[in-house]
Structure 1
Amino acid sequence: MDKTIQLVVITGMSGAGKTVAVQSFEDLGYFCIDNMPPTLLPKFWELVRESGKVNKVALVIDLRSRAFYDEIIEMLRNLGNENAINGKILFLDASNEELVARYKETRRSHPLAMEGRLMDGIKLERDLLSEIKARAQLVVDTSKLTPRQLREEIFHNFETSESAPFHIEVLSFGFKYGLPIDADIVMDVRFLPNPYYVPALKQQTGLDQAVYDYVMQSPKTAKFYQLFMKMLLEILPGYQAEGKSSVTIAIGCTGGQHRSVALAKRIADELKQSYPVSVAHRDIARRKETVNRS
């Protein structure tokens, strides 16, 4: 592979936040692997190089035994000798008191706890991980961090210009076929004039210029569009600030072929001036005869 692989090894104390960390790296566009045995890593790197498509990898490494720990140390030494890999270790830590509280809350057992004694497991793990912690380029104490704050810390340290940007999807749909379950914002535009009842427009869609013009030239549409776009431009930065990697805006009419399609297209075109945007029309090709359409 011509391009250097960016590798982050995510490790640390059990219960310190590795699950939140790997989810954050996924949102940054990393190829993430959770708890791959170190013995399988040479084959994995071979496949990565041959593919030529993966250049950001995050490995979550959890401690399971003393033998596993020794393999991890050897793996890190070997990776340090790889010229094609730019490796960093992220070590997540937390106070003993906080780890105990988290384990009590989730009722999980510690992987190294002897005879169920939680503190024994925590102390043993802390001792075994001391060398890896000393090697880490970044140590984050999550004792007083919320999941959101940990995510922000990871984004601050690892987000690059190549990271997956905040993305918006604008989706048109028909209420008669059900709400899109993954939508963050849903707007009902069935109050607007319906092109379905214009014979010349009935079999067309909101992507056809005649239907688009019919919808947009309505005074109701003009007023609604102005107010709705003002709201979107006001709230979208808030979603981004909260750590959302994407937002889906769903625009619905009765059948999902006319009004919602035209408005989704216009909204997407305007938002593209400020954000990466994709647009989809879920029900544009569906035709189901009912009394009310589109």
Structure 2
Amino acid sequence: MGALSKRAIGAALMDQQINLFACPVCQQSMYVYEQGRLVCSANHSFDIAKQGYVNMLTNSVSSKYSKSLFESRKAVIDSGIYDVVEAKISEIVAPAKTVLDTGCGEGSHLARIMKAKKYGIGIGIDIAKEGIMAAVRHYPQQIWCVGDLAKSPFAKASFDAILNILSPANYEEFKRLLAPDGCIVKVVPQSGYLQELRAQLYADSSKETYSNEQIVARFQDSFHEVTKERVTYTLPLDENLVPALLEMTPMGWHKKEDKDLILNAITIDVDLLVGKV
């Protein structure tokens, strides 16, 4: 008997966790049909791609994120500059059987967090198809979904932990998806995040400084039992990673062509916010 196809492997993972899914059109329960589609009782159908991910968008969307951006993001994350942050998240979500990463991009954070915790299943969702295609290519052990949290393809109260790492949030949907006693982990930049880059790109402008006070306050108003931990450290940066760092962060998108950057080190400075419904 030959090896399973990538589609079959992805379909099997989805079938094992089928209770997590709900039709994004009608919210009915779903089943895997012939290893090729997710189908609900009202016969809404979503194809499982040959690469092993499922596209559950209900309408076409455009994404500003390119294949090369996700390649750059993976290179930067693989360099280890977020290792400390990922390790702390792994500890926080250690008991979780089901972990949803919202705005997962190419999946590197989720894959590394799940590998560290050695338990449970990770599900990544992103509106950018290029990111999900990269995720399933590199990390087929998890479930990957192209989808929009505004029309969520997941069932109510189905996740023990929800991750929102340096990404836009949908708090009302997080509350719907979080299981009793589950937690939401949000990572937001602090004032020193990538400060070496900010100082050179935004010198002598209002953007040279940054505050996350409004984001933190909204999170605290939205969830209960909120804790906040600041994680900050500075690491040497390989000069070969500078172009990738510029491509992966919105700060770098506004760089002037004639502006040379010298980055020998980079600072990671974030708040880890943890809350419950």
Same fold (TM over 0.5): no
Higher relative contact order (CA 8 A, sep 6+): 1
Largest Rg, 1 or 2: 1
Higher helix share: 1
Query: TM-score under structure 1 normalisation?
Result: 0.27
Higher strand share: 2
